[in-house]
Amino acid sequence: MRHGKKFNHLGRTAPHRKAMLSNMATSLILNKRITTTVAKAKALRKYVEPILTKAKDDTTHSRRVVFSYLNNKESVKTLFDEVAVKIAERPGGYTRILKTGNRLGDNADMCIIELVDYNELLLGEAPKKSKTRRSRRGKGGGASPQETAPAAEVVEEAVTEETVEAQAEEEVKAEEVVETAAEETEEAQAEETVEAVEAQPEVAETEEVTEESEATATAEAEEAVEEPEVQEESKEPTPEVPEVEDKAGEEKSEDEPPSEEDKDKDTEK
């Protein structure tokens, strides 16, 4: 009878089991997630988590010890360069087993075993648990005030952190609103300046047109004033013209020889 024997041989000899777990650990480190049976995943978790803890101490001795388990240079390099940095702040519990159902054929329980720090979807949803202490001293069932005080302090710290985060978010939102309003006002001012600059040439053109029209109007008015004066001058009589003609007639008559009647008049005189 197997009372108290928890070690699972997985139906393999010791060398076969060791080689299989070494290969599975190498695949898990390189791919960060593998699909296998639940029994093998539980055995692999006991095999690989001490190796991950050993990788936190990056020394030559640690690398040689890990290489003795994995027997793969690429997996050792990935473990110490990438994975160890991710799990540096996690105190154990580096893997997660997710059951996926039964396998067709032999109806074996299947699952996915993965590294916790590489599943970003579940990392964002995990809430932070407050630490509480429990004591076995009190048999009455009620906790002593010394034990409840740390829990109350933790709760108060969590509440204060939440309020501080909420206030910070509100301040950021208010700053964004102010910045957007300032940008809108600047854009409106810029548009107004552009419109004013565009309107200035039009105003100058209209002023030039009005000046030209005023100049033409004044010129026309001056011409209209000058025309009546010219007409009045043309209407005035010219009395000297007949005298000139008479003088010209007299001159002509003096040049002409005297007629016979004139001669008779002279003789009678």
- The whole-number mean pLDDT for each consecutive block of 10 residues of the chain, a chain of 269 residues, reads 92 97 97 96 97 96 97 96 94 95 96 94 69 66 52 65 81 83 83 76 67 79 66 53 50 57 66
Domain ranges of the chain: 14-125
Residue 36: CB atoms within 10 A of its CB come to: 19
User: What integer pLDDT is reported at residue 114 of this predicted model?
Assistant: 96
| CA–CA distance, 170 with 165 (Å, rounded to integer) | 9
Q: What is d(CA 226, CA 223) in angstroms, rounded to the nearest whole number?
A: 5
State the CB neighbour count (10 A cutoff) for residue 134: 8
Q: What predicted TM-score, i.e. pTM, was given to this entire model?
A: 0.48
Predicted pLDDT of residue 155: 62
Q: State the DSSP H helix or E strand holding residue 101, giving kind and residue range, or none if neither.
A: strand 95-102
pLDDT at 154: 60
What pLDDT is attached to residue 120? 84
Residue 43 contacts residue 21 (beta carbons within 8 Å): yes
Q: What integer pLDDT is reported at residue 189 of this predicted model?
A: 83
Instruction: Name the CATH architecture for the domain at 14-125.
Output: Alpha-Beta Complex (3.90)
For residue 232, the model assigns a pLDDT of 56
